Amino acid sequence: MPNHPQNLTVATTGASGAIFLRHLLLAVERDARVKTVNFIASDAALRVMAEELDIQGRANLVTQILGASIKPSTSKTRTASSHSPQKIQLQSNSDIGANVASGSYSADAMVVIPCSVGTLARIANGIASQLIERAADVTLKEKRPLVLCVRETPLHKIHIRNLYCAADAGATIFPLIPAYYYRPASLDEMAREFAYRVLAHVGLPQPDAFHWKG
Ligand SMILES: Cc1cc2nc3c(=O)[nH]c(=O)nc-3n(C[C@H](O)[C@H](O)[C@H](O)COP(=O)(O)O)c2cc1C
């Protein structure tokens, strides 16, 4: 992998927390270090995004998720050229022949945000029947970073066993649990900081992220 991942796979599933996905996509769309994002949404994700982000169907899905709030920035990592509409490529979850289904495709890392316990179960048990799970399976077998932002509460033993199995196979379990010590003033601020933590974890630290100074 290059110093910074240039080719990211981002998947979203039917767990609550679509606002976290939105802020992650906004950040990678702005980040000039990221050249390609393959984006996959499960059917259940569409259902949850309809509730939480007022997303209507799959038409112009990326534009709907990003909304109208992409702001150019003067930061080094953010340039107008990074706003190419080609950067985030929507892949169909049913297309197991898509680029990210193969280890020979040079994806650098994968993030599932939010990750349902259903998707977690399939990844943890190698059930790679749809593209999200297949891409995750490939990411693990190629020993590339896989970050699972799992959201469910409470957790029963099967969830906990699946979390263990996925971690044991090399995934990072990055529960969708935001921090509060930076006193987020809004849900957007909370979700943005969480997305920044995920991106820092895969080698894409964001210049305006909060840093605890003790
Ligand atoms: C509004 C809504 C919220 C949901 N929240 C969660 C959740 O937080 N975590 C979870 O694992 N499943 C949640 N579900 C259930 C999943 O969407 C469901 O299990 C689905 O089959 C997951 O499919 P997927 O993993 O293919 O996306 C929610 C469903 C709805 C409609």
Residues with Cβ within 8 Å of 176's Cβ and at least 6 positions away in sequence, in order, are: 15, 17, 20, 113, 114, 115, 149, 150, 151, 194
Identify whether the C-beta of residue 13 lies closer than 8 Å to the C-beta of residue 132.
yes
- Which of 21, 43, 48, 93 is the pocket-test mutation for ligand 1 (most atoms within 8 Å of CB)? 48
For ligand 1, atom 17, which residue shows the shortest CA distance?
Answer: 14
Residue 71: per-residue pLDDT: 41
Higher-scoring residue by pLDDT: 115, 79: 115
Give me the sign of the Cα torsion angle 197, 7, 1, 105: positive
pLDDT tier, 84 (very low <50, low <70, confident <90, very high otherwise): very low
**Mean pLDDT, all residues of the chain:** 92
Centroid of ligand 1 to alpha carbon of 47 (angstroms): 9
pLDDT band at 2 (very low <50, low <70, confident <90, very high): low
Each residue of 43-65: pLDDT tens digit? 999 999 999 999 999 999 999 99
Residues 6+ apart with CB under 8 A from 166: 120, 123, 124, 148, 173
Tens-digit pLDDT profile for residues 148-178: 999 999 999 999 999 999 999 999 999 999 9
Distance 16 CA to ligand 1 centre (A): 7
State residue 3's pLDDT score: 78
Any ligand 1 atom below 6 A from CB of 12: no
pLDDT tens per residue, range 119-139: 999 999 999 999 999 999 999
pLDDT of residue 66: 93
Is residue 51 within 6 Å of ligand 1 at its C-beta? yes
| pTM, 2 dp | 0.93
| 16, 49, 54, best to mutate for ligand 1 pocket (most atoms within 8 Å of CB) | 16
